[in-house]
Amino acid sequence: MWRYHGDDLGAATARCMAALEAGITLFDTADIYGFDHEHGFGAAETLFGRVLAANPGLRGQIVLASKGGIQPPIPYHQRGEQLIACCEASLRRLNVDCIDLYQVHRPDLLAHPAEVAAALDKLRQQGKIKAAGVSNYTPAQVAALAAHLPFRLLSVQPEFSPLHIAPLFDGVLDQALERNLTVLTWSPLGGGGLVRGAADARTARVAAALDIIAHRQGTTRAAVAYAWAMVHPARPIPLVGSQTPDRIREAADALKVEMTGADWYGVLVAARGTPMP
């Protein structure tokens, strides 16, 4: 829901229903989503809250995830009661009593992980969240937070796509396997670069490698890009950012893609620009 904003309740509802029709039930938002649009900070949550209020049966059909801890113009704030206040504000905007998965959006380098852990624990004990995760954390930051958290950290949310392959090598996905963390990947289409058209030689190479698989299987490049991420044994869940109902429905085609090891490594080699060692 990064681009989820506006006043059109019908259009906002249609996007949600398109996801449900496709079997997509995880809805990921954040308090800062909408900050760069006309309605500003909290806009995405507020709009989704209106959709939930207008469709009483929807809440029970989804896993509701949100994030907090960034407050413009001061980038990150999670000290003391700050993170708790962020979550409580999200609950009000979303018109719900509980968020299924609440994630720290980016690490506050001035907050001791024990402070963050205490806030998450308090929210969980109060029934305001069911589970907690982190977004854009390094493996060391995940370990530091987990050391102070009295319950299991559930998720990690890195940028990961055929264009952004760092999590394969920086320990993020390895740690997810070690700790059994659910991986939610943002920008799985490289910020849309993989479907808009090649802006540089590297993007063109990766798109061509994806197209080889797509043409063979009679599907779209986007579906193959989603499937490429999902093949990894950490089983990443791509977060679909499209605001077009048809594109949202098409995302489910990723589940139909059959990818061999040679296919997968072919895309990786295209992304690296050099053969595997």
**Residues acting as catalytic residues:** 33
Quick one: tokens of 10? Answer: 């019908």
User: Could you tell me if 76 and 115 are in contact, meaning their C-beta atoms sit under 8 angstroms apart?
Assistant: no
What distance in Å separates the CA atoms of residue 221 and residue 219, rounded to the nearest whole number?
A: 7
Tell me which residue has tokens 């907690």: 132
Give, in degrees to the nearest 5, the angle at Cα 66 between 46 and 169: 140
Enclosing H/E stretch for 183? strand 182-185
Report the DSSP beta bridge partners of residue 185: 238
Task: Report residue 97: phi and psi, to 5°.
Answer: -95, -20
Report in angstroms the alpha-carbon separations of 7 from 17, 47, 133, 181, 275: 17, 7, 30, 36, 49
What distance in Å separates the CA atoms of residue 256 and residue 248, rounded to the nearest whole number?
A: 15
User: Could you tell me if 24 and 248 are in contact, meaning their C-beta atoms sit under 8 angstroms apart?
Assistant: yes
What distance in Å separates the CA atoms of residue 124 and residue 261, rounded to the nearest whole number?
A: 41
User: Could you tell me if 194 and 150 are in contact, meaning their C-beta atoms sit under 8 angstroms apart?
Assistant: no
What distance in Å separates the CA atoms of residue 156 and residue 214, rounded to the nearest whole number?
A: 29
Burial class (CB in 10 A: 0-12, 13-18, 19+), 143: middle
